[in-house]
Structure 1
Amino acid sequence: MGAASLSANAGSLISSTEYLDYQLPEKIQKICTERDNCPDIEVKYLKSNHSWIDNTVNARIDALVVNSKPSESGARVVKTPDDVKEALDEFVASQFAEVPADSVFVYSLMITPEYLGHVNDLELFEINSYVFTGGAHGMPYSEYLIFDQQTKKPIQLADMLQPNKKSRFNALAYSAYKEWVKTVDEDVANYEKSWPFTLSDNVTLTDQGIDIRYQHYSIGPYAYGMPVLSIPYSQLQGIIKPQFLPARLSNKYDS
């Protein structure tokens, strides 16, 4: 993904991260130290000079923590900070309930936010996570977040589209999907039978256009990673609202 273009006031956001202060329960620490296979927990929170952005990003990180292992009862909701510690305690304890004592594998949970840059009044972030609970591989995850400095609200794909333009955006994304498929398979039609196109709303802005991120297994097998479909701004004029175009293009669009 190309770095987002930065305007003169981009420096108004100062972004860093800080680690969650989490210690393994004493009983777990004793067992895993003896076995030399302690679970690996690394959770970071956003720490910037905009608390309203921090609150939204970090709430999403907490939600990823408490749902780091699938539950038959559905998604868990974070109500207090204790819910996060409790979920982590359950996560690390599960290794010793589910993995043989002589296993060299350890459960891992890593979550970190990243500042991607700035387009107009929009601040762009990405949350990356990785969960490993045994098996052939772990499960990475990536989620984009966009914040409007003027309204102090998060922005979704639906907010970016002009009225009645979703079908046109979908068509552009589908074209980008077919171009991506050509990089991994010679027969697009046959590939699509196994991995059909779906429109993801996991999007961000770059200096070139809109990137659409897909998770593992969404439009391809695990080996193909987390594909990103890119739609250039030159194709998006008249489809997304002018305020979501870089200044050089929105001014041209308005004229």
Structure 2
Amino acid sequence: MGAASLSANAGSLISSTEYLDYQLPEKIQKICTERDNCPDIEVKYLKSNHSWIDNTVNARIDALVVNSKPSESGARVVKTPDDVKAALDEFVTSQFAEVPADSVFVYSLMVTPEYLGHVNDFELFEINSYVFTGGAHGMPYSEYLTFDLTTKKQVTLDDMLIKGKKPRFEALAHDAYKAWVKTVADDVSSYEKSWPFVLSDNVTLTETGINIRYQHYSIGPYAYGMPVLSIPYSQLQGVIKPQFLPARLSNK
């Protein structure tokens, strides 16, 4: 998605990224240098002129890093910066515990934020991650984050919706799902039996409407990627609150 911009009011945000300062454990560095298969770690943090946005985005990045390898006990909570380093140490060490000594196989972990632009007073970001620990392919992940500059709070789908209108929004999303299915399958009803529609709350504002992002395997096989369903603003009048609509529609 390209950078959205419906208003100059929020244009004051300046954003960049900075790399996490992480060094492989000395023992792992020695082993992987000898084998020429050092794990590939690339974690970036958001650095903008709005520290409250940075704090939320970077906390989410930390959570994705700490949970980069599945845990039987469920998602782990980040309490200190040391938790992030410990999780990375565990991630890179596991490569050499699980992979034969003569393998050139390399674990990979990438997490980075991207600034998407703004719509009205809402600043839009996306966090992308990629984890590869073997198998046929790695696992990409994408998560939208929306921030209200007027309230200095993160905005969710439920915040955008007018009370009682979630069923209507879900129906519009289902229609968008059916339109998407027609681009990848011949018959919608048979496809939906294998990959039924579910409503995702992973949404962002765009110049033309609301985009809904799905992860791999949510509504389709891995080969179909991470589908994005789009609902135009013209269908969202009376469904989402006026402040989330372009001025030309919110005043009607």
What is aligned with 1:139? 139
What is aligned with 1:235? 235
CA contact (8 A) 1:2 1:208 kept: no
What is aligned with 1:113? 113
CA contact (8 A) 2:11 2:118 kept: no
What is aligned with 2:151? 151
| Partners of 1:68 and 1:188 in 2: CA distance | 34
What is aligned with 1:176? 176
Q: Secondary structure at the match of 1:191?
A: helix
Give, in angstroms, the shift of residue 249 of structure 1.
Answer: 2.0
Matched letter for residue 142 of structure 2: S
What is aligned with 1:216? 216
CA contact (8 A) 1:160 1:240 kept: yes
Q: Does residue 17 of structure 1 match 2:17?
A: yes
Q: Secondary structure at the match of 2:4?
A: coil
Q: C-alpha offsets along residues 200-221 of structure 1, whole Å, 9 cap, x if unaligned?
A: 0000000010000000000000
Matched letter for residue 72 of structure 2: E
Give, in angstroms, the shift of residue 102 of structure 1.
Answer: 1.6
CA contact (8 A) 2:2 2:116 kept: no
For structure 1, the residue ranges without an aligned partner over 5 or more in a row are: none
| Partners of 2:31 and 2:2 in 1: CA distance | 45
Off by >6 Å, runs of 4+ in structure 1? none
CA contact (8 A) 1:2 1:207 kept: no
Corresponding residue pairs, total: 252
| Partners of 2:127 and 2:2 in 1: CA distance | 17
TM-score (norm: length of structure 1):
0.97
Report percent identity of matched pairs: 88
For structure 2, the residue ranges without an aligned partner over 5 or more in a row are: none
CA contact (8 A) 2:10 2:149 kept: no
What is aligned with 2:89? 89
Indicate the RMSD between aligned Cα atoms, in angstroms: 0.8
What is aligned with 2:33? 33
Matches within 5 A, 1:157-196: 157-196=157-196
CA contact (8 A) 1:242 1:250 kept: yes
Q: Secondary structure at the match of 1:87?
A: helix
| Partners of 1:169 and 1:149 in 2: CA distance | 25
Q: Secondary structure at the match of 1:9?
A: coil
| Partners of 2:44 and 2:230 in 1: CA distance | 28
Give, in angstroms, the shift of residue 147 of structure 1.
Answer: 0.2
| Partners of 1:11 and 1:198 in 2: CA distance | 34
Matched letter for residue 70 of structure 1: P
TM-score (norm: length of structure 2):
0.98
| Partners of 2:224 and 2:7 in 1: CA distance | 34
What is aligned with 1:54? 54
